[in-house]
């Protein structure tokens, strides 16, 4: 990265400019800098945002955070949860969702966490990376792009101009994304929006909440009562149709609503209260030439499934290795086209799922609620219902004839020198050709060199190393003995023998080197008002 000044404008040159240092921009910048790319992150606010929004992440996201180098501190800022129960106004159970124990990605299926603490851990990690520079108090205000690169025009908090010249730029600048607006990308609005008062509490004396996560489907006041991470609780109260925003936007309103839960100024500290409008929408395209969108800049969903930030962190994992390939000239630009192709339908599925949950939760009509309660309570069973697995990804980078391609590959514990360790902590993150057989690949020299250049490795897991049987079970269930895992932990493809595994690598090399198909439409810049 280089920086200099010309005619009063400071100029920074880097490989990738990331606009926005929320959890998504921060994770993306770290993943890129871990590949030694020069990354400049521009963040409008001079100091970190201190208030939580997200409180839940899943095992896949925990694995991505592990890949960002903060796996060791996740236990300190999060607590696993097993049950999320929905009840009606009378307290009768309507549904019980269970995500017990470890998920396939090797972390608790559901964790509740404190967002500012997560962002602080990501910030610490970012400071360790010499090619990552975070510029706080800098707002992106314009962009221009050519076939060679992008210029982000920005303004320092003191009004001074800053120009960031980069090969690619990623707008991780949240719901009101400036970058999305500069690209003139339309937003597809799915027409679902409700206002909710969000209240974060620290109780002076800890209490046992059973269930730890509760949804009260009370038409008089739909209310969410969940963990806010270790030592914290979150209440969310829906605005009723007969109320105004002002009725909820006050400390008094927060305490008044909390009183019903025996939470008062005498026994609790109010960390914050704010009204949010939960929206459901997404950008129609997530790429325009060399500029991409990720996180809330690309998609927004109501938080009922706890998947908004999770989807953004998935964007970062999907995009990071593709940008790494494109920056290294090791692939055509079509690899970047696959970003929207793979991620948009997945995020859309999460938006649709969140809306479906919201349609049940946000009912404020008593008759409609009574009909819902009768139906749901009638079919309620004590056994928790599993939350459906997230959909696979699909697209031109993945072989269409392999039913396992696009699904997540598991992370198990492996034995190394007598110690049990998560797979990624031993074998790192990248292309991994994994097998539970003792067979050896016999790649031709060119293919072996190519795989090596991609930092790909072959990992044979012996029965002794597969301490919890994760890999033996997975390969048996999928009738194969080789799996090619992508750097974002999805399965590229599977094979049942050595010849098939070699063919899988040859196919991957072919797909990654596909010719460029980049398209670009006009972009507004400060000089083109």
Closest separation between CB of residue 124 and ligand FAD, Å?
Answer: 17
Query: What is the CA 36 to chain-centroid distance, rounded?
Result: 22
**Contacts with ligand FAD: how many residues (CB under 6 A)?**
34
Closest separation between CB of residue 20 and ligand FAD, Å?
Answer: 3
Is the Cβ–Cβ distance between 48 and 120 less than 8 Å?
A: yes
Closest separation between CB of residue 176 and ligand FAD, Å?
Answer: 7
User: Two tokens at 41?
Assistant: 């992150």
Biggest distance spanned by C-alpha atoms of the chain: 73
> Could you check whether the bond before residue 478 is cis, i.e. omega within 30 degrees of 0?
no
- CB closer to ligand FAD out of 261 and 276: 276
- CB closer to ligand FAD out of 310 and 390: 310
Among 122, 150, 164, 172, binds ligand FAD (CB under 6 A): 172
The reply on whether position 296 binds ligand FAD by CB under 6 A is yes
Q: Which stretch binds ligand FAD (CB under 6 A): 168-176, 281-289, 380-388, 501-509?
A: 168-176
Distances (CA, A) of 387 to 358, 428, 504: 15, 29, 32
User: Two tokens at 354?
Assistant: 């969140």
Restricted to residues 137-156, the positions that interact with ligand FAD (CB under 6 A) are: 139-140
The strand ranges marked E within 14-109 are 16-19, 39-43, 56-58, 78-80, 83-88, 93-98
Kindly write out the interface string for residues 175-214 of this chain, putting x where it contacts ligand FAD by CB under 6 A and - elsewhere. Answer: ---x-------------------x----------------
User: Two tokens at 284?
Assistant: 């129609």
- CB closer to ligand FAD out of 304 and 409: 304
Closest separation between CB of residue 384 and ligand FAD, Å?
Answer: 19
Q: Which stretch binds ligand FAD (CB under 6 A): 166-174, 247-255, 350-358, 434-442?
A: 166-174
Q: Which stretch binds ligand FAD (CB under 6 A): 15-23, 214-222, 394-402, 410-418?
A: 15-23
Restricted to residues 234-273, the positions that interact with ligand FAD (CB under 6 A) are: none
Q: What share of the chain is helix, strand, coil (3-state, %, to 5)?
A: 30, 30, 40
Pairwise CA distance, residues 110 & 79, whole Å: 8
Helix (H) or strand (E) holding 36: none
Pairwise CA distance, residues 1 & 18, whole Å: 14
Residues 6+ apart with CB under 8 A from 505: 433, 443, 447, 451, 456, 484
Closest separation between CB of residue 23 and ligand FAD, Å?
Answer: 5
The strand ranges marked E within 294-407 are 299-300, 385-386
- CB closer to ligand FAD out of 237 and 409: 237
Closest separation between CB of residue 369 and ligand FAD, Å?
Answer: 23
Going by the DSSP 8-state scheme, the letter that residue 239 receives in this structure is P
Give CA angle at 332 (328, 336), nearest 5°. Answer: 90
Closest separation between CB of residue 472 and ligand FAD, Å?
Answer: 32
Helix (H) or strand (E) holding 399: none
> Which value, to the nearest 10 degrees, does the dihedral of the CA atoms of residues 359, 365, 370, 376 take?
10
Closest separation between CB of residue 385 and ligand FAD, Å?
Answer: 19
Closest separation between CB of residue 455 and ligand FAD, Å?
Answer: 27
Kindly write out the interface string for residues 341-370 of this chain, putting x where it contacts ligand FAD by CB under 6 A and - elsewhere. Answer: ------------------------------
Pairwise CA distance, residues 33 & 38, whole Å: 6
Is the Cβ–Cβ distance between 286 and 294 less than 8 Å?
A: yes
Closest separation between CB of residue 368 and ligand FAD, Å?
Answer: 24
- CB closer to ligand FAD out of 88 and 311: 311
Among 16, 21, 145, 183, binds ligand FAD (CB under 6 A): 21
- CB closer to ligand FAD out of 172 and 351: 172
Pairwise CA distance, residues 18 & 132, whole Å: 10
The count of other CB atoms within 10 Å of the CB of residue 317 is 25
Distances (CA, A) of 347 to 139, 301, 350: 27, 9, 5
Closest separation between CB of residue 236 and ligand FAD, Å?
Answer: 7
Helix locations, 201-333, DSSP H: 245-248, 251-259, 308-327
Kindly write out the interface string for residues 24-63 of this chain, putting x where it contacts ligand FAD by CB under 6 A and - elsewhere. Answer: xx----------------xxxx---x---xxxxx------
- CB closer to ligand FAD out of 301 and 393: 301
User: Two tokens at 288?
Assistant: 């325009």
Closest separation between CB of residue 325 and ligand FAD, Å?
Answer: 23
Site residues (vs ligand FAD, CB under 6 A)? 19-25, 42-45, 49, 53-57, 139-140, 172-174, 178, 198, 276, 295-296, 303, 306-310, 312
């Amino acid at each position: 990265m280089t920086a200099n000044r010309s005619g009063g404008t400071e100029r920074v040159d880097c490989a990738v400019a990331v606009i926005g240092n929320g959890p998504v921009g921060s994770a993306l910048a770290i993943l890129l800098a871990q590949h030694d790319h020069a990354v400049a992150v521009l963040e409008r606010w001079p100091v970190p945002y201190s208030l939580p929004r997200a409180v839940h992440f899943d095992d896949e996201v925990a694995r991505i955070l592990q890949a960002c180098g903060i796996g060791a501190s996740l236990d300190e800022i999060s607590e696993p949860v097993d049950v999320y129960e929905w009840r009606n106004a009378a307290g009768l159970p309507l549904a019980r969702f269970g995500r017990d124990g470890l998920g396939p990605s090797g972390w608790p299926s559901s964790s509740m966490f404190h967002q500012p603490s997560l962002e602080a851990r990501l910030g610490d990690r970012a400071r360790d990376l010499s090619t990552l520079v975070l510029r706080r108090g800098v707002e992106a205000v314009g962009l221009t792009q050519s076939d060679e690169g992008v210029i982000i025009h920005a303004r320092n908090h003191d009004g001074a101009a800053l120009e960031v010249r980069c090969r690619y730029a990623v707008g991780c600048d949240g719901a009101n994304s400036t970058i999305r607006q500069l690209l003139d990308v339309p937003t597809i609005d799915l027409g679902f929006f409700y206002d909710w008062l969000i209240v974060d509490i620290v109780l002076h004396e800890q209490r046992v909440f059973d269930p730890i996560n509760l949804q009260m489907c009370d038409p008089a006041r739909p209310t969410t009562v969940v963990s806010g991470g270790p030592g914290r609780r979150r209440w969310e109260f829906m605005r009723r149709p007969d109320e105004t925003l002002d009725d909820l936007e006050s400390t008094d309103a927060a305490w008044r609503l909390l009183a019903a839960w025996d939470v008062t100024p005498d026994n609790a500290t109010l960390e914050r209260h704010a009204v949010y409008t939960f929206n459901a929408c997404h950008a129609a395209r997530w790429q325009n030439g060399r500029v991409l969108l990720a996180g809330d800049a690309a998609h927004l969903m109501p938080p009922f499934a706890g998947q908004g930030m999770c989807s953004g962190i998935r964007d970062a994992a999907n995009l990071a290795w593709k940008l790494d390939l494109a920056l290294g000239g090791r692939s055509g630009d079509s690899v970047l086209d696959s970003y929207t192709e793979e991620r948009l339908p997945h995020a859309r599925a999460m938006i649709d799922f969140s809306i479906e949950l919201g349609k049940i939760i946000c009912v404020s009509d008593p008759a409609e609620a009574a009909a819902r309660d009768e139906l749901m309570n009638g079919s309620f069973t004590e056994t928790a219902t599993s939350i459906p697995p997230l959909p696979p990804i699909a697209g031109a980078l993945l072989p269409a004839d392999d039913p396992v391609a696009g699904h997540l590959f598991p992370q198990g514990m492996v034995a190394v020198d007598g110690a049990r360790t998560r797979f990624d902590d031993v074998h790192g993150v990248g292309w991994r050709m994994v097998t539970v057989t003792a067979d050896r690949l016999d790649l031709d020299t060119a293919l072996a060199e190519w795989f090596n250049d991609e930092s790909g490795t072959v990992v044979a897991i012996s029965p002794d190393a597969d301490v919890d049987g994760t890999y033996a079970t997975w390969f048996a269930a999928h009738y194969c003995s080789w799996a090619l895992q992508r750097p974002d932990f999805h399965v590229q493809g599977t094979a049942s023998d050595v010849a098939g595994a070699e063919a899988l690598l040859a196919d991957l090399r072919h797909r990654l080197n596909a010719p460029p198909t980049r398209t670009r439409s006009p972009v507004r810049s400060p000089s083109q008002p």
